[in-house]
Structure 1
Amino acid sequence: MLSWTGSAVAPIGMAFAVLHLGVGAAGLGLVLAANMAPQILLLLIGGVVADRWPRATVMVWTNVLSAGAEGVAAVLLWSGTAQVWHLVAVSALCGAASSFFTPAAGGVVVEVVPAEMRYAANALLKIGQNMVKIAGPAVGGVLVAAVGSGWVIGWDAATFAAAAVLCARLGLAPAKAKVRAGFVADLREGWDDFWSRRWLWVMVLQGAVVVPVWLVGYQMLGPVYGKDYLGGAARWGLVVSAFTGGLVLGGAAALLWKVRRVGVVVCVGTGVMSLPLAAMAAGLSLVLVAFAACAAGTGLALSMTVWASLVQERIPKEKLSRTMSYSTLGQVLPVPLGYLAAGPASAYFGVRATLAAGAAAIVAAVIVPLLLRQVRALTLAPVEVAEETLVSAPR
């Protein structure tokens, strides 16, 4: 939760730091693409590392690297010497750290929470994380306007450092998976597990469309829209806060409602993410854009919570980080291309037309998987049934 207080304000700080350098959407797209490229290159290795070594240790050192990179960015911004390539390099280092942190963090829940409590734990994690983030974007927008992006990035660096100290106290045991002949054998085993689950790779294909479109529309073009149409960083921060408030509502809904039809809920919750892009494309008021962002956050949090519980239920713990790394890679692989293409596209067609195309793409990506019976039939089984299935089902 402490780390999320930095992560909640950092995207706004970084976005407006780049925009203040006068490079526009294309420069922001370059910085964001630099964050995603190392994840594509290193994510599979990160999954193997997280299954081989204590996940808490991996989380500590990735937080240390992120703290150092963000600290350098803050100093450069404070001194007035920051250039675009500096922020590109910092973004790339943080992306490299994330490629190891994400698979490790994804497997921690199954190590510290009993199986019968994981659904509630996933919901509580989402609520706790996102409650911290509710005021963060609005505060970040005000801080950027009042004192500059350097202070926002500096706070993010400090929270990464604090998170490293706290993660060091987890004391998780080393992974029990046997070390194979090498990284290649471990990667192959993870791939075989991933590919054997049709429901998993079908939904990952859906994510491969939705994730880059959402990030381009919300994270990249959103600040540009806020600057050009809503009145600046502070007003865009209110939209981001509304989205975060929706994330909390979605987490609460997941806690109160034990979803059974996971495939349907995930697809519908994902489809709601088209609403804020459509609202911006239509030039609606700040209130309506914020309302649409809140609805998108609610759908996203609900779908992510039930999806995480399904994956934890179906995939053995010793393979979880590797299988999740393939899943994550499939979703982030198109993101850099999306960032790089969105700048020229928005310049040629206009920001609002690009946002409209993104909303349509999300809707199409949601409908197609629902045509498959296997996706519609995905359910969360009772814990005792799920555990028996994991033991007896052929791989």
Structure 2
Amino acid sequence: MFAPLRYAAFRHLAAGRLVNMLGNAIAPVALAFAVLDLTDSVRDLGLVVGARSLMNVLFVLFGGVLADRIPRRLVLVGSNVLGALTQAVVAALVLTGTATIPLLLVLGAANGVVSALAQPASAAATPQTVPPELIQPANAILRLGMNAGMIGGAALGGLLVAAAGPGWGLAVDALTFALAAAAFAGVRVASTRSASTGTSILADLREGWSEFTARTWVWVVVLGFMVLNAALAGGVNVLGPAVADETIGRGAWGVVLAAQTVGMVVGGLIALRIRVRRLLLLGVACMFAESLLLLGLALAPTVAVLVVAGVAVGVAVEQFAVAWETSIAQHIPAERLARVYSYDMLGSFVAIPLGQVAVGPVAGAIGTRETLLILAALVVASVVGMLASRDVRRLRTAAPAPAPAAVPAGQADGGPGDRPVTAPAEPAGRA
């Protein structure tokens, strides 16, 4: 199960992503209280957070092009250095009492651009760090580490804000960017420089779009998750706290969210051991469980029901996440992988703000319970739509193979041998 950890490049990548997630969990807690301390305005907080999210969406496609044009290690190190600088400035402004909303908006937007540059490179680097037969356990290990970082970061963020203030929480977030940059410096993998690097960025984007649309299972799943993520963002993130306030209470809602994270950790451990050929089919089918939390909020908002639903959702999410990452890595050419990931990220997340904004007026018009039931039905319909694709049902992952008993010295120390070749591109299971 843990054979990927024998490879130095993978260890550095896993460490960098864990530290990144630790900082990503600290930052929202610290930033929220920093803005509230400054203006006591939820509107201002929404503007600051929204500016970062908007830049992230706008620049993620450029991040995919960049990661296919230049070495991904350079993109990862450079973006994290820039992230450390932007967050250090934010921390300094908050600690010195000189922060203003316009400054935080600009710096938040800059940090969103930096994040957009890093995300496709981080995802596309994984299959370069291990042999093809170890991609599935490698993705499971990465997810375990990231979930652990999310749990630890949220707790640490709360403690830092309570004990030392939000400025120090932001300073620690800046430090995590610097530590991640140091870790990513050890991700020594072969260059996948695109053959189209002499062309324009627009031409690269067109080539990535062609790769993205050439496999039906790719765009069908991304389209399904456009609907699914919008429904969950509105139902769980917006209506969930409102229902909790009227029923189980805020503290119990925190327990429900923690239960979901625990389920993700358990799901990661399960994903390490699963060996099926139609892994994507299994992962997509598991997404039916995403409707359980919405149904629980609508029909039986009790702690017991919602905790069980949260654990089930967490386990299911990890099965899909590992299945998707593994399928993409095994079937997309390495030199175009980051661009395909960027279209995946754009399509999957672009509708989330719409779901968050629209759900309030809809719930006000027809009722919260009815809205939650409609959102649960949308989740089920999106999963049915994905499973209706024969390509999704038939896609096969590479057969798992035992890891070698020993790793050659060059691979163990991150030298030239630590450059396994990614799996070749294959048809997407079309008959």
TM-score with structure 1 length normalisation? 0.85
Which sections of structure 1, spanning at least 5 residues, go unmatched? none
Q: CA deviation at 1:143?
A: 4.9
User: Residues 382 and 326 of structure 1: is their aligned pair in 2 closer, same or farther, counting only changes over 3 Å?
Assistant: same
Question: Paired residue for 1:215?
Answer: 233
User: Residues 116 and 381 of structure 1: is their aligned pair in 2 closer, same or farther, counting only changes over 3 Å?
Assistant: closer
Q: Name the SS of the counterpart of 2:396 in structure 1.
A: coil
1 CA distance for matches of 2:366 and 2:157? 30
**How do 1:1-395 and structure 2 match up within 5 A?**
1-15=18-32, 21-24=39-42, 29-78=46-95, 85-141=102-158, 143-144=160-161, 148-178=165-195, 179-219=197-237, 231-232=249-250, 236-282=253-299, 284-342=301-359, 355-382=372-399, 390=426
Q: Look up the equivalent residue of 1:390 and give its one-letter code.
A: E
Q: CA deviation at 1:169?
A: 2.8
1 CA distance for matches of 2:71 and 2:378? 39
User: Residues 295 and 74 of structure 1: is their aligned pair in 2 closer, same or farther, counting only changes over 3 Å?
Assistant: farther
Q: Quick check: 1:138–1:241 contact (8 Å CA) kept in 2?
A: no
Q: Quick check: 1:220–1:339 contact (8 Å CA) kept in 2?
A: yes
Q: Quick check: 2:262–2:314 contact (8 Å CA) kept in 1?
A: yes
Q: CA deviation at 1:198?
A: 0.9
CA offsets per residue over residues 220-258 of structure 1, 9 Å max, x none?
A: 5556666776555x6554433322211111111111112
Q: Quick check: 2:56–2:115 contact (8 Å CA) kept in 1?
A: yes
Q: Quick check: 1:140–1:237 contact (8 Å CA) kept in 2?
A: no
Q: CA deviation at 1:349?
A: 6.4
CA offsets per residue over residues 147-180 of structure 1, 9 Å max, x none?
A: 5544433322221121112212324443332224
Q: Quick check: 2:330–2:425 contact (8 Å CA) kept in 1?
A: no
Q: CA deviation at 1:66?
A: 2.3
1 CA distance for matches of 2:98 and 2:248? 29
Q: Name the SS of the counterpart of 1:272 in structure 2.
A: helix
Q: CA deviation at 1:282?
A: 4.5
Question: Paired residue for 2:418?
Answer: none
Q: Quick check: 1:29–1:339 contact (8 Å CA) kept in 2?
A: no
User: Residues 84 and 362 of structure 1: is their aligned pair in 2 closer, same or farther, counting only changes over 3 Å?
Assistant: farther
Which sections of structure 2, spanning at least 5 residues, go unmatched? 1-17, 402-421
2 CA distance for matches of 1:346 and 1:90? 34
Greater alpha carbon shift after TM alignment, 217-226 vs 291-300 = 217-226
User: Residues 93 and 104 of structure 1: is their aligned pair in 2 closer, same or farther, counting only changes over 3 Å?
Assistant: same
User: Residues 217 and 127 of structure 1: is their aligned pair in 2 closer, same or farther, counting only changes over 3 Å?
Assistant: same
Bigger radius of gyration: 2
Q: CA deviation at 1:387?
A: 5.0
1 CA distance for matches of 2:356 and 2:181? 30
Q: Quick check: 2:275–2:400 contact (8 Å CA) kept in 1?
A: no
User: Residues 274 and 125 of structure 1: is their aligned pair in 2 closer, same or farther, counting only changes over 3 Å?
Assistant: same
User: Residues 283 and 19 of structure 1: is their aligned pair in 2 closer, same or farther, counting only changes over 3 Å?
Assistant: farther
2 CA distance for matches of 1:356 and 1:348? 14
User: Residues 281 and 81 of structure 1: is their aligned pair in 2 closer, same or farther, counting only changes over 3 Å?
Assistant: farther
Q: Name the SS of the counterpart of 2:426 in structure 1.
A: helix
User: Residues 75 and 361 of structure 1: is their aligned pair in 2 closer, same or farther, counting only changes over 3 Å?
Assistant: farther
Greater alpha carbon shift after TM alignment, 266-275 vs 42-51 = 266-275
Question: Paired residue for 2:12?
Answer: none
CA offsets per residue over residues 277-315 of structure 1, 9 Å max, x none?
A: 333344623454333222211111111101111111111
Q: Quick check: 1:44–1:325 contact (8 Å CA) kept in 2?
A: yes
2 CA distance for matches of 1:225 and 1:149? 28
Q: CA deviation at 1:328?
A: 1.5
Greater alpha carbon shift after TM alignment, 364-373 vs 185-194 = 364-373
User: Residues 55 and 371 of structure 1: is their aligned pair in 2 closer, same or farther, counting only changes over 3 Å?
Assistant: same
2 CA distance for matches of 1:227 and 1:140? 23
Q: Name the SS of the counterpart of 1:116 in structure 2.
A: helix
User: Residues 349 and 97 of structure 1: is their aligned pair in 2 closer, same or farther, counting only changes over 3 Å?
Assistant: farther
2 CA distance for matches of 1:180 and 1:383? 37
TM-score with structure 2 length normalisation? 0.78
Q: CA deviation at 1:28?
A: 5.2
1 CA distance for matches of 2:97 and 2:377? 41
Higher helix share goes to which structure? 1
2 CA distance for matches of 1:273 and 1:126? 18
Q: How many residues align?
A: 391
Q: CA deviation at 1:353?
A: 5.9
CA offsets per residue over residues 339-381 of structure 1, 9 Å max, x none?
A: 4444555676676665554333222211222223322222213
Q: Quick check: 2:160–2:166 contact (8 Å CA) kept in 1?
A: yes
Q: Look up the equivalent residue of 1:183 and give its one-letter code.
A: I
CA-atom RMSD in angstroms = 3.4
User: Residues 383 and 289 of structure 1: is their aligned pair in 2 closer, same or farther, counting only changes over 3 Å?
Assistant: closer
Q: CA deviation at 1:53?
A: 0.5
Q: CA deviation at 1:32?
A: 4.1
2 CA distance for matches of 1:350 and 1:39? 33
Greater alpha carbon shift after TM alignment, 179-188 vs 98-107 = 179-188
